[in-house]
């Protein structure tokens, strides 16, 4: 697009915006305000058109460079190092959500394998041990630990009103 056509489009857009502003019944403007508003609209539209032409000619920023290497991000069992900012995290999910990413988006952005972990190994093990300790993942009535069977629990007493003792006269 040549410069004359671009400047004509900017003037036309600024004029259309000014006409739309003036045709609004809630707008109260004197004749002196119109040229100033038209100039403001022209500047705004020309700034927008110049910024879009610059960004459209640039290469898209789809190629992200990681803050650290993938090998270094997995070097410790205590934490994972984020490829976004290079900081250590026990779990990446909340950090990624803060950047508007899902784990799949993160893996895709940096070219990671689908099995790239989102939780540090030691943290995952600690959570697994805690869950087993409190009994998560067992079916009701399943045996605990060694070879002992779980003692049957007595049925709770029925709830209801207590009967008062018969009054003796």
> What rounded mean pLDDT belongs to the chain?
80
Q: Which two tokens stand for residue 86?
A: 């290079």
The SS3 call for residue 165 is: coil
Instruction: Give 41: exposed, middle or buried? Use CB within 10 Å, 0-12, 13-18, 19+.
Output: buried
CA distance 70 to 67: 9
The structure's pTM equals 0.47
pLDDT tens track for 45-90: 888 877 655 444 444 445 788 999 999 999 999 999 999 999 999 9
pLDDT tens track for 5-23: 666 688 888 888 888 878 8
pLDDT tens track for 94-136: 999 999 999 999 999 999 999 999 999 999 999 999 999 999 9
E strand or H helix at 81 = strand 80-81
Look at residue 118 in the predicted model and tell me its pLDDT. 96
Look at residue 59 in the predicted model and tell me its pLDDT. 40
Share of the chain above pLDDT 70, in %: 73
User: Residues near 73 by Cβ (< 8 Å), separated by ≥ 6?
Assistant: 66, 80, 81, 82, 83
Look at residue 112 in the predicted model and tell me its pLDDT. 93
């Amino acid at each position: 697009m040549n410069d004359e056509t671009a400047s004509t489009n900017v003037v036309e857009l600024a004029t259309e915006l000014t006409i739309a502003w003036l045709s609004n019944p809630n707008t109260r403007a004197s004749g002196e305000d119109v040229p100033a508003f038209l100039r403001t609209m022209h500047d705004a539209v020309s700034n927008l058109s110049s910024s879009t032409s610059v960004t459209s000619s640039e290469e898209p920023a789809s190629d992200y460079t990681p803050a650290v290497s993938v090998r270094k991000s997995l070097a410790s069992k205590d934490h994972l190092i984020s490829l976004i900012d290079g900081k250590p995290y026990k779990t990446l999910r909340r950090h990624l959500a803060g950047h508007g990413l899902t784990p799949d988006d993160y893996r895709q952005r940096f070219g990671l394998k689908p099995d790239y972990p989102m939780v540090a190994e030691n943290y995952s093990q600690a959570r697994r041990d805690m869950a087993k300790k409190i009994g998560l993942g067992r079916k009701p009535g399943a045996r605990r630990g060694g070879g002992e069977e779980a003692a049957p629990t007595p049925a709770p007493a029925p709830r209801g009103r207590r009967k008062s003792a018969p009054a003796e006269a």
